[in-house]
Structure 1
Amino acid sequence: MSVVLHPFAVFALLTLRTVQLLAPQATPHALIGVAAAIVVTWLFVIQRRRSGRWGTVDASHRSERPLLYAVLLGVLAICWWWMRERAAALAPGIAAVAAMLVVAALCNRWIKLSLHMASMAFAAVSLSALSPSWALAGAVLLPLLGWARVRMARHTLMEVIGGTVLGAVAALALQVWVG
């Protein structure tokens, strides 16, 4: 579950579904942007893991998270710049995800919120107005993903719940923002 519903996969599908619905002409640019963002982030993660600086590829220790957040926010800034004219409709979503990551980074001192859960909740809630069937699928998968994160001992129940709430609130804020 954790691999199949990894934030990279969730955000790739969310981006592609959203661009199909809101700006289909921008699909090639969205594919390039998402692929580049995933490759750059994944190369960073692999480098940290192979060098022994991280215990897992999930940045499972809170001390590993600040640098991950910085890289993710940098990648999102580049994605926003890349998509700014090609798919302006995606800009609010990129900003909402960035805000979600900033909140997770600020909370990291006290709790290591599950980014897996935050991304899945964000996708499910943000798609509720655009693609209800996709939103329902995301909502149905949330408990399974939460169970997997706790079962693998990557997160506590509170970290899973906190990540879910963070993702849902960020998506609700996005919906209010875009109307």
Structure 2
Amino acid sequence: MSAQPESNGCWRFARAVSVLLHPFAVFVALALLAALRLDPASLARTAVGIGIAVAIVWGFVLQRRRAGHWQTVDASRRQERPLLYLLALAVAGGYWWWMGGRASATSTGSLAAVAMLCAAGIANRWIKLSLHMASLAFAGVALLPLWRDAGVVALMLLPLLGWARLRMARHTLAEVVGGVVLGLVFGAVPLVLH
């Protein structure tokens, strides 16, 4: 896919949608809402843990981009993603431990997110699944039993985000659809297990 001109108004809108619905923002919102609904006493601990996790991964992303190792902050090329997956898995494991491991009210959801990252990392050999789409689909399904309206809104935003990822030429249609399927499947894991 060829990149769209950044001066184009549609491209700028697509970029704004991609930033607002970035996996970091989606997982921060999901973690905080899940803590609020499942274990309000853990809200401060959740905020600190997810904040540190995002800061670590975001620092790595910025370092890779500024050093010229990555084309974009989205790790847009498939070969840029293995290190990102390894770091994200390590950070997610640390977050799970920080939250109390298996004793945490959000343990199953955290482990489902880790499993989703593992699956995306394995699939990366063949296809660069959209983590934007996967995270929003995951959050939408995971939120349904916690706060139905928020889950429905997240799922309804999927077509807009898919358009944005395609418009910015960050993914192909197969990568966008594959990301949605990945997120829906792993987002349903906590529902099936409870």
Is 1:4 aligned with 2:20?
Answer: yes
AA aligned opposite 1:56:
T
Is 1:60 aligned with 2:70?
Answer: no
Is 1:19 aligned with 2:35?
Answer: yes
Give the aligned partner of residue 136 of structure 1.
152
- Does structure 1 retain, via aligned residues, the 8 Å contact 2:78–2:124? yes
1:34 corresponds, among 47, 50, 69, to 50
1:121 corresponds, among 132, 137, 148, to 137
Segments of 5+ residues of structure 2 without an aligned counterpart are 1-16
Give the aligned partner of residue 176 of structure 1.
192
1:93 corresponds, among 94, 109, 113, to 109
- Does structure 1 retain, via aligned residues, the 8 Å contact 2:141–2:151? yes
AA aligned opposite 1:13:
A
CA-CA distance at 1:58 after TM superposition: 0.2
State how far apart, in whole Å, the 1-side matches of 2:100 and 2:184 are.
25
Paired residues, number: 178
- Does structure 1 retain, via aligned residues, the 8 Å contact 2:101–2:107? no
Change (3 A) 1:160 1:85: closer
Is 1:164 aligned with 2:180?
Answer: yes
AA aligned opposite 1:51:
A
- The Cα offsets for residues 68-104 of structure 1, whole Å up to 9 and x where unpaired, read as 0000000001101100169701111110000000000
State how far apart, in whole Å, the 2-side matches of 1:82 and 1:129 are.
24
AA aligned opposite 1:3:
V
- Does structure 2 retain, via aligned residues, the 8 Å contact 1:41–1:71? yes
80-89 vs 70-79, greater mean Cα deviation? 80-89
Q: What is the SS of the residue equivalent to 2:20?
A: coil
- Does structure 1 retain, via aligned residues, the 8 Å contact 2:85–2:121? yes
Identity fraction in percent: 53
Give the aligned partner of residue 77 of structure 1.
93
TM-score normalised by L of structure 2: 0.90
Indicate the structure (1 or 2) with the bigger Cα radius of gyration: 2
State how far apart, in whole Å, the 2-side matches of 1:173 and 1:81 are.
19
TM-score normalised by L of structure 1: 0.97
